[in-house]
């Protein structure tokens, strides 16, 4: 079992170019699954001994642990991916996970900020100091391009064309796409770039990174979250807001303004249009609310 899992994780990292975070999630999910399977099938159990009945028992056990539906769905999806891989490798002749389904997910509309709240947030950093200029450029870029926070911190200087307002972004699976930034984000980046040489002077840790900490190293996803939380508290905005909320806000505001959904899909780097369509539910919901509030016969 352990060797089969290790081989699958190597496949994800080396052949599928999955991120370290994705590989880590699969490792955690499959470690839990293998521990359960060994308890049911014995310490020396082999993948070929896994049956649909065993997998159904694992699904029941996951629910009994009171995991959230999203967690149960992810753990089952990880197990299905592993077993499909073993079938492709010829280790399994049939897939015991055929027909195995995760829990039905309740549709949760993405959290987003109003345009007014986004404006307040983007204006919050003190642009008289280098850290504030960096934070301003960081927030402007997140919202202007609709980036994932991992894409933001992964930006290198050579990925940014300030003249054209274009970014080369590495998304999920390290797939590259082009993202766009507007004049405000461009000017914010120009102001921040003027500070980078002083920060890098004698403390070079990652000279290619667009966004640096005070020690000259690349900002991390966690650091961006902490920086955002500071401004949210300062402004009294919803503390549940995350860097990803700015991506949700980007998509919602674009569609609200009449942008073509396929164009928004491309800018977000979504593989499937259905992923982007969740934002149309947001805009439709807001349309219903406006109708109910304004029309004399809506209530």
**pLDDT, tens digit, 9 for 90 and up, residues 143-201:** 999 999 999 999 999 999 999 999 999 877 677 888 999 999 999 999 999 998 888 87
Question: Could you tell me the pTM of the whole model?
Answer: 0.66
My answer on whether 199 and 124 are in the same domain is yes
**Does residue 208 register a pLDDT over 70?**
yes
Do 55 and 141 lie in one domain? The reply is no
pLDDT at residue 295 above 70?
Answer: no
Both tokens assigned to 206: 């990652």
In which band, very low, low, confident or very high, does the pLDDT at 57 lie, cut at 50, 70 and 90?
very high
Is there a single domain that holds both residue 139 and residue 207? yes
Beta bridge partners of 179: 167
Question: For residue 136, is pLDDT > 90?
Answer: yes
Q: Which domain holds residue 48?
A: 2-88
Using an 8 Å Cβ cutoff, are 153 and 224 in contact?
yes
Told to judge if 120 belongs to the known catalytic residues of this protein, a careful annotator would answer: no
How many structural domains comprise the chain?
A: 2
Q: Is 297 a catalytic site residue?
A: no
pLDDT at residue 20 greater than cutoff 80: yes
SS3 (DSSP) at 209: strand
DSSP track, 65-79: TT--HHHHHHHHHHH
148 assigned to active site? yes
Concerning whether 172 is annotated as a catalytic residue, the answer is: yes
Find the CATH number of the domain harbouring 132: 1.10.443.10
Catalytic residue among 134, 136, 218, 247: 247
Q: Does 157 lie in the same domain as 82? A: no
Percent of the chain topping pLDDT 90: 59
Does residue 266 carry a pLDDT above 90?
A: no
- pLDDT value at 279 more than 90: no
Residue 270 annotated to the active site: yes
- At 106, the pLDDT band (50, 70, 90 cuts) reads low
- 136 and 234 housed in the same domain: yes
Q: State residue 107's pLDDT score.
A: 60
Tokens of 237: 């905005």
pLDDT at 283: 63
Q: For residue 67, what is the domain's CATH number?
A: 1.10.150
Would residue 250 count as lying in a domain? no
Same structural domain, 152 and 235? yes
Looking at the fold, whether 120 and 222 belong to one and the same domain comes out as: yes
Q: pLDDT-based confidence at 5, cuts 50/70/90?
A: very high
Given pLDDT bands bounded at 50, 70 and 90, which one contains residue 69? confident
From the list 134, 148, 196, 253, the catalytic residue is 148
178: which strand partners? 168
121 & 81 share domain: no
What strand order describes the sheet that includes 176-180?
160-161, 166-170, 176-180
Active site annotation includes 291: no
Q: Where are the alpha helices (DSSP H) in the chain?
A: 2-10, 20-41, 52-64, 69-88, 115-123, 130-145, 149-153, 183-193, 196-200, 221-235, 243-256, 261-268, 273-294
Highest mean pLDDT among 156-160, 193-197, 260-264, 272-276: 156-160
Q: Check 27, 40, 172, 177 and give the catalytic one.
A: 172
81-99: burial string, b at 16+ Cβ within 10 Å, e else: bbbebbbeeeebeebbbee
pLDDT over 80 (residue 135)? yes
Q: Is residue 276 part of a domain?
A: no
Q: Which of 134, 248, 253, 270 is catalytic?
A: 270
Pair 113, 239: CB distance under 8 Å: no
Give pLDDT, residue 19.
Answer: 80
At 293, is the pLDDT very low, low, confident or very high (cuts 50, 70, 90)? confident
Domain stops at, among 240, 259, 281: 240
Listed range (11-25, 106-120, 132-146, 275-289) with the worst mean pLDDT? 275-289
């Amino acid at each position: 079992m352990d060797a089969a899992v290790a081989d699958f994780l190597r496949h994800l990292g080396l052949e599928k170019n999955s991120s370290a975070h994705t590989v880590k999630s699969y490792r955690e999910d499959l470690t839990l699954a293998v521990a359960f399977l060994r308890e049911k099938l014995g310490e020396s159990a082999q993948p070929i001994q896994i049956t649909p009945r065993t997998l159904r028992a694992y699904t029941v056990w996951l629910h009994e642990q009171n995991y959230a539906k999203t967690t149960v769905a992810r753990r089952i999806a990880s197990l299905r991916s592993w077993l499909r891989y073993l079938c492709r490798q010829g280790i399994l002749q049939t897939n015991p996970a055929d027909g195995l389904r995760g829990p039905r997910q309740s549709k949760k509309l993405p959290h987003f900020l109003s345009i007014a709240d986004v404006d307040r947030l983007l204006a919050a950093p003190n642009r008289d100091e280098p850290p504030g200029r960096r934070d301003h450029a960081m927030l402007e870029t997140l919202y202007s391009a609709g980036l994932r926070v991992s894409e933001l911190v992964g930006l290198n200087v050579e990925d940014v064309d300030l003249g054209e307002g274009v970014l080369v972004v590495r998304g999920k699976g390290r797939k590259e796409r082009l993202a766009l930034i507007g004049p405000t984000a461009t000017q914010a980046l120009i102001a921040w770039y003027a500070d980078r040489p002083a920060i890098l002077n004698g403390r070079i840790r990652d000279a290619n990174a667009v966004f640096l900490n005070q020690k000259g190293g690349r900002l991390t996803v966690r650091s961006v979250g902490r920086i955002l939380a500071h401004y949210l508290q300062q402004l009294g905005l919803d503390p549940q807001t995350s860097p990803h909320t700015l991506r949700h806000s980007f998509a919602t505001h674009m569609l609200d303004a009449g942008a073509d959904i396929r164009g928004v899909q491309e800018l977000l780097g979504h593989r499937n249009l259905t992923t982007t369509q969740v934002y149309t539910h947001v805009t439709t919901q807001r349309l219903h609310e406006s109708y109910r509030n304004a029309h004399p016969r809506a209530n």
